[in-house]
Chains A and B, each alone.
Chain A
Amino acid sequence: MSKTIALILSLIIILSTIISLVPKVSSQQDKTPKDPYFVGAGYSLNDRLLVRNVTASIFIPDGPPEYYPYSINYLHYYVLLNVNNYDPNNPRYPRYWYQFGFDNKFNVIVAIYDRGNNRTSDHDDVVWWCNTYPLSRGVWYRFTIHMLDNGSVVFLVQRFILGDWRTIYSCPRSYSTSNRLVLDDGYSVFEEVRANQGYERMPYYSFHFANLGSNERPIETNWVSFKGSNNSTINPVPPNTQATIYRNYVLIQNFYNRAVESIPALPNDGASATGTPSKNTFMIAYRANTNQIVIAKVTYKDMNPNTDYSDKYWYWYEHVITLSERTIKPPSIVYNFNTGRYYLAWRG
């Protein structure tokens, strides 16, 4: 009997130890670094504009959320529409500002920041939240921040269903100092990333804001790209990441898969590349220092959010063959899906 009790006690101790090692997930601050970095586009029109609503369509990537519930080194990000509420008593430093978008689990996020009457702090504001709402993947949603006549603010999410934009989410709140939003340098769309520097840097998706506008300017084209960090020594912005702009569209592109392969005496011609029948493989062709043409293959894996980060950054470079053909310029390689053949052309 005593052995049984001892065994049970041992099991309890072991289980308690295991449970204590699992990171807390109940508090956002427990699991995310406090110093984020930002990649996005800010409003660039010099004149301040007061509007009743701002709108952005946002595409939810058609892939698994990059979210690791059981890992300490995990990535948290928000894709946000960001705007100040106009304060007639303090136009340059308004009391309320609004953020509207989604988080790394594709749930709607609304945050109303309140600097208080004294406007003393930027970073310890009171934050008022709305309920979250799960969004579907591979779908466009229209996000609108709308000021009502009575000064209330409403956060709307609409989805295009059967030829019509239908409201699927609405959160009204009374936190405002006027019924206008301010379009100035405080108006922006961006991705806010809170990543553990030692491991993850950026989600693998590109994020697309489309049809940016307001009731005053339905097609808003005054955007300028930016990126920065609250603490660049802890969370530097990843390289090869940038918000790119076309008219009233902003696309945040992240070339996350940078790899460096050492190849003795590769001439500075570059390496022509082509896709292959295998979805994660590219074939490349380049000129070696002997002027011979080299064929090589690069293989990647798909991101697997249920395992760990290794698949995301895994790649395999394979030398396929060094041909006897010679050139003094970069060769060109292409794959033809119709014939199942690669074709190679070069200047002899």
Chain B
Amino acid sequence: MQSFDGRTWFNKVTLNEKSYHGPTLTVGDDGYIYLVWVGLDDRINVMRSQDGINWYDKSISDEKSKYHVGVVYAGNNLIISWVGLDYKINVIKYSPSSKTWYGKITLNEYAYSGLSMTVIRDPYKEGWRIIYLVWKGGGGWINSIRSDDLGTNWGYKMIFDESLTLNPFIASNQDKLFITNSEAIHIFLLRTTL
């Protein structure tokens, strides 16, 4: 469903798709809203919509996960990350125009949570964009890693002094990054300026 102010929500739709996990939304530069989820068969699915009501162009990947996935739209593609059945983090690109999945890479990183991604303007290079990915790593610490080339290469790994989270999430707003993390009765909010 959708809202102008976060307070009043409308246009609820129930899709005929099922999942054990939470879905992930992102908005593309092409005007579409993308919905990515893990089906009951653990495979990653994509659909898109222009109005948030009618959803179509469904595509199913061969890749499998048992956690919710991370997704951003950058460079005319969806960049989708997921935790494989071996707990390794994977990244793949999905071209909505051709409905093709390509460029899969497997990072040498292990995750024990769902993944979350965001894209932010590169303050150092005009017109460039940076993708951040966060997850819960070994020992329960929040980890982040980033890509300066639309998801092909990843580096700048950071291990935060924050542990015992289940699902960290990340968002961006202009030059700010924002990470949320919850534990029992607290929600932790982390912010930085690039």
**Contact residues of A with B, CB < 8 Å?**
59, 61-63, 138, 140, 204-206, 208, 210, 239-240, 242, 244-247, 249, 251, 253-276, 279-284, 286, 295, 297-298, 300, 303, 315, 317, 320-321, 323, 325, 327, 329-338, 340-348
Contacts and interface: CB of A to CB of B under 8 A. Distances in A.
A336 B33 contact: yes
A256 B170 contact: no
A204 B193 contact: yes
Contacts of B176: 279-280, 300
Contacts of A332: 22-25
Contacts of B182: 263, 266-271, 286
A332 B114 CA distance: 12
B173 A256 contact: no
A275 B119 CA distance: 11
B68 interface: yes
Main secondary structure of the interface of A (DSSP, over half): strand
A265 B185 contact: yes
Interface string B169-181: 1111110111111
Contacts of B156: 244-246, 249, 251, 253
Given A258-B189, A347-B19, A334 B27 contact: yes
A246 B170 contact: no
A255 B160 contact: yes
B165 A270 contact: yes
Nearest to A246: B155
A348 B68 contact: no
A261 B184 CA distance: 11
B139 interface: no
Chain B's interface: helix, strand, loop or mixed, by majority? Answer: strand
Contact of A240 (B6, B153, B160, B193): B160
Nearest to B142: A240
Contacts of B124: 59, 140, 208, 210
Contacts of B22: 269, 272, 327, 329-332, 345-347
Contacts of A260: 186-189
Contacts of B102: none
Contact of A345 (B35, B159, B191): B35
Contact of B157 (A244, A266, A300, A329): A244
Contact of A263 (B14, B116, B187): B187
A8 B49 CA distance: 77
Interface string B16-60: 000111111111000101010100000000000000100000000
Contacts of A242: 158-160
B25 A240 contact: no
Contact of A274 (B165, B166, B171): B171
Contacts of B160: 239-240, 242, 255
B6 A321 contact: yes
A295 B6 contact: yes
Given A247-B155, A337-B27, A321 B185 contact: no
